A and B are shown apart, each in its own frame.
Chain A
Amino acid sequence: MTDTQTPAAEAPVSWQSRLTGGVPLTTWLRERGVYIALLVLVLYNIVATPNFVTLDTIQLLFSQLPPVIIVSLGMALVIGTGGVDLSVGTTMAIASAVLAKMVIAPDQGGFGASIAVAIIVAVLAGLAVGIFNGVVVAVARVQPIVATLGVLVAGRGIALVITGGALVELFVPFFKEIRLGKLFGIPYVMIVAAVLALIVSFLVRRSAFGYRLLAIGGNRRASVLAGLPVKRTLITVYALSGTLAAVAGVIATARLRASDPSYIGLLFELSAITAVVVGGTALTGGRVRILGTVAGAVLIQLLETTLVSHNAPDSVARIVEAIIIIAAVYIQRTSRRSR
């Protein structure tokens, strides 16, 4: 750099700026709030929840977490472009239904495919849903919230049609592997989630795709004029979100040992959006935090576990979740204004 302005520090340093290293408090909170909240929640549980620090609790958490984390990764990318994907929950249900249809024996109306083929087709179904969303958003230029709302509304109907209208129990040996399989004591699914998180994080930080995604989220018009392939990038982003949702759908199906179109992925869009926003990704687009998103997903899941172990009904968990979203968005807003 040629002209470097020298930041001098003659101004009196307040306790607050000493804590945050000179960054405005709200900005500091936006970047680190999710980790602090997570820490507080863990400490609270250690003190207040009986038997929290047991292997069982952690195992349970590890088995519940992967679907939320995986869906949130795709959601983070979509929100990074300034959009939102409301269809992730129903995409999980569609993938689950497709999975069921594929593995069921031909005499019971299925295709009797091997589990490997079934999983691939289920994931491709998610990809197709994602591409559909992406095209509606990027080419038809429908607002993301409206475009993906269509699939949210119609998706469970589609899933029900695929499975023939009801819960389908599935007896697949491989599901036991997915549920219980471990490598060095860590469940397979957790490893899958972690690897996917690393890949997505790498994409955001280092790839031209991630770069374009952030530029489009930051200023779509400017991105067009800078010659970026805006439509292709947007379609890719939604396609990734759909694909990741389908992976989560497969895992959820394995856990349930059944395909239940009216239950699988229910309200996952809410949890994913919460995880993403709490993790410091800007709802307005242009800033994506993958590690924050994972922490956000853990926070949401741990919160639900905590409330359940204190015998609070599920609806209470939703209310708390909503409060957290509002708080996170509030912190984002104030820190932007103070700039």
Chain B
Amino acid sequence: MTTTVEPPILAVTSASKRFAGVRALEDVSIDLYAGSVHALVGENGAGKSTLIKLITGVHQLDSGQVRLRGEEVSFPSPRTAQQAGIATIYQEVHLAPQLSVARNFFLGREPTRFGSLDLRRMNREAQTALERYGIVADVRRPLGELGLGVQQMVAIARAVSADAGVVIMDEPTSSLEPREVDRLLDVVALLKAQNVAIVYVSHKLDEVFRACDMVTVLRDGRLVSTGATAELTRRQLIARMLGRDAAEISEGNVTRLSSRASAVDAEPVLRAEHLSRRLVLDDVSVVVRPGEVVGLAGLLGSGRSETAKAVFGALPLDSGSIEVDGKPLRHQTPASRIRQRVAMLPEDRKAEGIIPGMSIRDNIGLAALPQLTRAGLVSRRRVDDIVQTFVKRLRIKASSLNQKVSELSGGNQQKVLLARLLCLNPRVLLLDEPTRGIDVGAKAEVQALIAELAEKGMAVVLISSELEEVVEGSDTVVVLRDGAQLGELVGAEITEDRIMDLIADAASEQAAEESPEEQAVPKP
């Protein structure tokens, strides 16, 4: 329930912030109430992170004020905000993977006994605290050995155990599986019951409607609306985020791509067959014809990213063959694949994609460098030509081409990476989570771009953790589980239900195989 009579625990009034003269946030106010979950939504670059960083002391306000329990506060550092009871859980888990769960739980505030760590007490208390959140794990094991979901829970338990009155969660579910998301939302409910005020930043509207009482929409650094979630329809919310008329957005959001009939008879551009690598891939085959989008569906760890990486030469194979336009590819390196006009958009934008310190121009031109170089010297003019073309075509928003790519929003960073690939004029495009962590508007643009590229005859492999995206964007879907291929769906067969059935069937078969009777039978 939302409390309207009680004063808010934390109130931000008319907050404004500029970075190097560029507006990041202007005149934004938000009230957080005890026992209420407040969703913060908006496209990338809307100002969500800036707002959070102002509350948590990472940045300081240019103007406006923050009141905590009625008193004006100003946090010079994240630590002071933490001490005042504002806990933050970031998208990525910022803990020490090689230390034990208990050590992580107490990181920075370890209990000591006679001047040395009181390990027994740490283990005991950590165990109790984690059990409250439904985490059953050996707290003496290194944190890194646990799944990402559990690590996330440890981060939450750790942040919240410090008498937090306000808990800020910045896209806590972006790397979690559905089951783990459920558990996280349970924890959110638990915190709510403990009268904590929660800020929940997410791109996933499902979660917003499931878990949040209030929702604030930001756009271009300004407040669009704030109010009770129950009073909004999904469509109205999307409309406010995009700043378009609600009627313009169809309920389905993405239109089903017309099936490209011509693709069926054409010779395949990419023929990757019997890809195997011990413990990772087991006889996976992907065949893509010109103009075709082949989706790889499966849960996290099913081998979908690994398949793309193997095709791109970034994951060595034990066996298997890869042909592009009938020519077998031998060298297993990304550089040789790029020469064969195979391009890959990596899953992890930050770690594997952008060069953060480099400009937008240099990031885009990176892979096409050999074509833009003469006698070892980079031709500025040719780089500028090609970069301008793609910045326009992909509508990359930046103050200048010299702007550092790290200063862009996630959606624009993703577009920069796409531009980098398109400079290569690829025949095969491997897209691993092309719309992860980007806003609704950019997402629609990227999806439309994928369709357009396929239309022009490119062979596209599409990976997405959102089943809907795979179903709507693909002509053929290869379903994977535990590194093995479960089946291939074509055309009208492609539905979310069919894919989930395949995965579920495989799971039950596997359970049967692992039963003791089966194992007792010696295999020839």
Contact = CB atoms under 8 A, between A and B. Distances in A.
Q: Do A and B bind each other?
A: yes
Contacts of B396: 2
Interface in B163-195: none
Contacts of B301: none
A11 B62 contact: yes
Interface in B358-378: 358, 362, 366-367, 369-370, 373, 376-378
A287 B344 CA distance: 26
A218 B335 contact: no
Contacts of B406: 339
A282 B404 CA distance: 15
A23 B362 contact: no
A177 to B, nearest CB: 32
Given A224-B334, A226-B366, A7 B22 contact: yes
Contact of A211 (B334, B337, B378): B378
Interface string A39-53: 000000000000000
Interface string B1-38: 00000000000000000101111000000000000000
B422 to A, nearest CB: 13
A286 B62 contact: no
A319 interface: no
Contacts of A223: 355, 366
Contact of A207 (B346, B353, B377, B392): B377
Contacts of A4: 399-400
Contacts of B337: 227
A221 B21 contact: no
A218 B357 contact: yes
Most B-side CB within 10 Å, residue of A212, A218, A224, A282 = A218
A315 to B, nearest CB: 36
Most B-side CB within 10 Å, residue of A212, A218, A225 = A225
Interface string B59-75: 00011000000000000
A22 B355 contact: no
A5 B367 contact: no
A208 interface: yes
B400 A227 contact: no
A222 interface: yes
A229 B377 contact: no
B268 interface: no
Contact of B369 (A208, A225, A339): A208
Contacts of B367: 226-228
Most A-side CB within 10 Å, residue of B338, B378, B392, B407 = B378
B356 interface: yes
A8 interface: yes
A334 interface: no
Contacts of B339: 227
B166 to A, nearest CB: 23
A219 B366 CA distance: 12
A330 to B, nearest CB: 16
B317 to A, nearest CB: 17
A5 B399 contact: yes
A222 B22 contact: no
A1 interface: yes
B330 interface: no
B129 to A, nearest CB: 30
Interface residues of A, number: 34
Interface in A8-25: 8-9, 11, 22-23
Contact of A5 (B63, B377, B397): B397
B366 A215 contact: yes
Interface in B390-438: 391-392, 395-401, 406-407, 420
Given A7-B20, A8-B23, A207-B377, A215 B351 contact: no
Interface in A261-293: 282, 286-287
A23 B366 CA distance: 27
Interface in A169-200: none
Interface residues on B, range: 35 or more
B20 A22 contact: yes
Contacts of B442: none
A8 B22 CA distance: 7
Interface string B421-465: 000000000000000000000000000000000000000000000
A105 to B, nearest CB: 42
A214 B396 CA distance: 23
Contact of B346 (A22, A225, A282, A287): A225
A209 interface: yes
B342 to A, nearest CB: 10
A208 B373 contact: yes
A5 B22 CA distance: 7
Contacts of B399: 1, 4-5, 7
A229 B312 CA distance: 15
A211 B362 contact: yes
A9 B354 CA distance: 30
A3 B396 CA distance: 8
B314 interface: yes
Given A1-B401, A7-B22, A22-B21, A286 B344 contact: no
B346 A211 contact: no
A243 to B, nearest CB: 17
B376 A286 contact: no
B377 A206 contact: yes
B318 interface: no
Contacts of A206: 377-378
B514 interface: no
Contacts of A286: 355-358
A3 B397 contact: yes
Contacts of B358: 214-215, 218, 286
Contacts of B18: 11
A339 B53 CA distance: 12
Nearest to A202: B377
Contacts of B312: 225
Contacts of A209: 376
A289 to B, nearest CB: 13
Nearest to A285: B357
B395 A3 contact: yes
Nearest to A24: B20
B352 interface: yes
Given A225-B352, A227-B337, A8 B21 contact: yes
A208 B377 contact: yes
Given A215-B355, A219-B356, A339-B406, A228 B376 contact: no
23 contacts: A1-B391, A2-B395, A2-B396, A4-B400, A7-B22, A7-B399, A11-B18, A11-B63, A22-B21, A206-B378, A208-B378, A211-B366, A214-B357, A218-B357, A219-B356, A222-B351, A225-B312, A225-B344, A226-B367, A228-B335, A228-B369, A229-B335, A286-B355
The 8 closest A-B CB pairs, nearest first, are: A7-B21, A227-B338, A218-B355, A286-B357, A227-B335, A208-B373, A226-B367, A3-B397
Given A2-B392, A8-B23, A214-B362, 14 more contacts: A1-B391, A1-B399, A11-B18, A207-B377, A218-B355, A218-B358, A219-B354, A222-B354, A223-B366, A226-B366, A226-B367, A227-B337, A227-B367, A228-B367
Interface of B: 18, 20-23, 62-63, 312, 314, 334-335, 337-339, 344, 346, 351-358, 362, 366-367, 369-370, 373, 376-378, 388, 391-392, 395-401, 406-407, 420
